[in-house]
Structure 1
Amino acid sequence: MKREIGPNQMKIDALPARASLADKQVVLGNIDYDERATMRAWEHFLADEPKCARDLVRPSHVRSLIHDSWYRSASGGINAQGHEAPLSSDRDAIEYLTRANAELLSAARRSFASIGQLLEGTGAMLVLADRDGVLIDAIGDKKTLHDGMDIHLAIGGKWNEDAVGTNGIGTALWTGEPVFVHAAEHFCAGIKSWTCAGAPIRDPLDGKIIGVVDLSGYSPIFRPHNTALVAATARQIEKALAEQQQEQRTRLLEAFISSAPSYRRKDGLVIVDHRGRAIFCNNVPDGETTEMMDGPMEPGRGRWLMNLPSSGSEADLARALPAHLRSCHITPLKLDGDLRGAALVFPPVPAVSSVTVIHREGDKHLEAAAAMIVGTDEALLAAVDVACRVARSNSVASLLVEGETGVGKELFARLVHAGSRRTANDPFIAMNCGAITKDLFGSELFGHVAGAFTGASREGKPGVFELANGGVLSLDEIGEMPLEIQPFLLRVLEERVVHRIGDSRGRPVDVRLVASTNRDLKQEIAAGRFRQDLYYRIGAVSITVPPLRERGEDVLLLTEHFNRQIAAASGEEPLDFSHEALDALLAYRWPGNVRELKNLIGRLHVLAQGRGVELHDLPEEITAASIEPGTRSASGTATSPEPEGTLAEAERQAMRSALEAEGGNLSRVARRLGISRPTLYRKLDQYGIRRSFV
């Protein structure tokens, strides 16, 4: 009696003629493979058309690996009556495929050559597929290679599960493990006369699957050890890839060393390969380079950092840097004339001076406080080092911090407090001497008893010295202190005893004083407005915090720091500053120092259109500062460079000479000229200097 079949079914008698009786029942691992039973299970699967995975009932003689793959194939709309895989025969597409997988092909060459010569006459072929399951190489028995063309098992054929359903290549890609798919286990009817075993190939650097090696042929070639053979071949290819990557890593390091003679050991360095992955990291702590990114970058080997542009120019590379890496210097690294990577050089981490790390390695409070002082300027780091020494010392009771308004003097007081506190409850008290009226100064400083003067509180009140007992007292703008109060302050510092106003009883205090001022106290002494003996008492150890305009590219570091800080607090993405905008920030004099910069970044987060910040988004006083004198006409448009013999011509000539001396390396040119890279780019455009030799 003839059995009726549906459109998605196939009669057992229709099994391809090349399938022999030897295939009807074999042992696949620990499962007895019965071809007729497997075919019936496949037919029933197609007839039932399960709506979801939980509706599946797997026959005991069908492996779960295969049954799950059938479900994925049916859910993905694969035609079960298909006879071939999709094939791209376009020569340009094949050429691109070869170039894109050059490293994988090179790594597989030795293994394929040694195995290929052994496959002639065996009925087997060995194929190599890329991460998408597209075949990029094939060797083996000539007749099998020829017959493979019938099902497009050839270069350009696409064999992932999304294209052709259950098969050795596609299922190995899906599972990430070595697999075999035998005869009727395939999903498509047209390839059920074949058997195949595939094993994924992983990139040794990041562990991602980059291809599959597969042994295929008509079903009589099946042997249980076929899977072990392809797994061993995949491991050999991975080993060859690791050797290639190590050689490239060494060559890129050599290329960097030869192109960066001014690199300093304290600088952070990350080398990325042509895929933008970190292959070498030195002196770059976690959190400095992801969000490297998603927060600052964690520079582990293999981590993807950026897309390298096809051009090898420094300008294009700088534009390709993610926003959180804009503070670094980037240098293209070429091998045999081709761009094969880049070097990212980061300024030294501005957290804590080396002395602090060595002597107080376990003091997390001190390191955290020092990390709040962002910058790499040598004068700034020297001030941080002195403050850390004072914090650790038991013999130094006071520190004088001098600097302009807005430079961050209070951070140094916080640093001393963090390094000198003995318990978590040690107080930090800050008082701004410029904000206290003359009449209340003594009361605020030393306290008072009940009824000591008109307006005094009924209970009395402790002064800041008593409140700071056991901790740190920060007296900001101490140069504003009234002259008549200064002798009393000197007495408290010398005797370590405070007398409240109206009280004869002394109260012992143990206070470390950090005094700060934006005035020149020596000039104040000469003018009779500050006592010399008090100056020597509070200024036994003093530091000067440099103004922002003297800290060079610290402006960029602080811009990035505040940008991320404000973005995190508001739950938004950081702003993306253009090179022109960064150049303008570098050129500005910053009369309000760090405080002015922080306020600007906060304002940009509120007012900037989108997440990009261009030159026109900045205040006029900042954009005006970035315009060189004499470079704009009365109408406000940019003019041509000055005639021969002028200062502008001398500058143009100096830039040409520097470019020639440094072989067109823009990072070294900028360092030679003592300007930032954004300034260099702007001046190259301003003077019309071509970069064709860069």
Structure 2
Amino acid sequence: MTKDHKNLKNIEPVRVSPEELNRRRETNKVWFSSIVSLLEKFISKIKKKDFFISFIDSDRVVLKTISPSGGEGVFTEGVVINEEFFGTTSIECSLTRNEEVEVIGSDHTLLQLKDWACASSPIHDSEGNIYGVISFTSKLNNYPDYGLGIISSLSQAIEKEVRWREISEYFKLSKKYLDIISKGTKDGIICLDEEAKILYMNEAAGEILHVDIKNSLGKFIVDIVDFNPVILSVFKTHEGYTDQEFIINSPLWGTLHFIKSAVVVRDEKGNFAGVVDFFRKIGRVRKFVTSYIGAQAKFNFSDIIGTSLKLKEAIRISKIASKSNSNVLILGETGTGKEMFAQAIHYEGLRKNGPFMVINCGAIPRELAESEFFGYEPGSFTGADKRGRPGKFELANRGTIFLDEIGEFPLGLQVKLLRVLQERSITRIGGTRAIAIDIRIIAASNRDLSKEIDNENFRKDLYHRLNVIQINLPPLKDRTEDIPILVNYFVEKLSVKLQKNIKKVDDSFIKPLTTYHFPGNVRELENIIERALNICENNELNISHLPREIIKNNPSLKSIDEIKRESLIQVLQDTKWNILKTAKILGISRPTVYHHINKWHIQKKS
């Protein structure tokens, strides 16, 4: 065989046409451009000039040969490296064995190659198939000891570069779909390859991170931000996470507060291939949560019913408060509408687009109060959520927090509340980092806070912090002129709820209410109206539908039985003692009509 090959020195090797060579280069465009780019970079950093690097496809056609000297070498472009002509070569062996191979001098069978040394390494596509070979060739006297190492490193670099370019091309083709999907959410989305290079970034991510999207693609995530990206932990553990909270300090942008999820991407073999990073600003999360739990104001000033001077004065001061960010203290008895006023101040105020968070200070157990108000970090105490939890003050950020029954706020936490008001930041239980908050506080109490201060149940300095704008709500007994208006309002409102058709509210129903002292104020009045509507069996409310305690407290009024007797006599006279019509008008049965006639000794006048 050696003899035969020696006799081939005057025979030309097989060569493809220039058109076929160009076609193959175009077919292998991604590979070809990646390899040429990498080889040119490699050659520019090597001082030696007398070597050649070639890219040979799987059909053994030399697609490209590059040399610092500009020569062609023994494996010229377009030549087919077949065994029939070239005999034993590292290229043939590498393709056949699917491994790195080095052939030195006399190991070649072709005479012209015995003064040459060659190292070749296969390159594979994403499915592991041999795509071609990279070959390093030089004269024996110039061949380096590390020739095989050079070509091995180059082949690995080429495979990674081609994979990167293929993924990039895929994302370019899919970009319109990705943009449509990502525009449907305001979450930031970044796709990273296995080296933490950015493959894709949506507009929301660019806005949140304050970076230019076009300039970020292809770069390492660490190179586009001025802080250490927390997503890098996933590249060490290869484990993702869901809805974890992170607070990051950016030298340029200050504190960045995120909720993040990381999804690990794996190839068909299960190997780590990258990460998709989802993140949103904590403000959006808070807004969603507060909306979900109903932390929104529903009432405005037009919902406050009444024309009394004391009520009008309270509304006047409240409207002034709505145009300010100062703290407000609302004082009034139970049921006077303190929360309604607080909602109206928020709803028509500067923070109307923010959350309205309500905390009933007397309803939260003292041992849970601090965690409810200020939140806690993961593992802060037994039974704590392992992910931690924000407190009500955090959730109210950029909005209003309504502290109802502030007089019952735990004395031990009043110092911490005072610090929140002074520093405008909170620190969660178990945490060390101060979280900035922007809130407006409206507090309310049915207690005399000055007495609470004297009894050392309430801090004087906290009282002064809260009592910037004070609003005093009058009890219902001090604005009796509003009672008829409120009665008609509640009858109309509750009739819809209870599916009643009330056409008349008799004076006998309203008059006792104007002399009642109403310890429960407007809330009690509403409950009285609802009870009356429930027990009313016709379309008119009268004294018979009022609770006994209201009648009992008004001795000038007739008893219920007296009123019922007079009503029965009147209807019997109107119907000319037609028992069936009388029963229908009064909404009772015929036997009941006869029962009352006998009980109250009603006689038909002749």
What band does the TM-score fall into relative to the shorter chain?
A: 0.3 to 0.5
- TM-score w.r.t. length of structure 2: 0.42
Which structure: larger Rg?
2
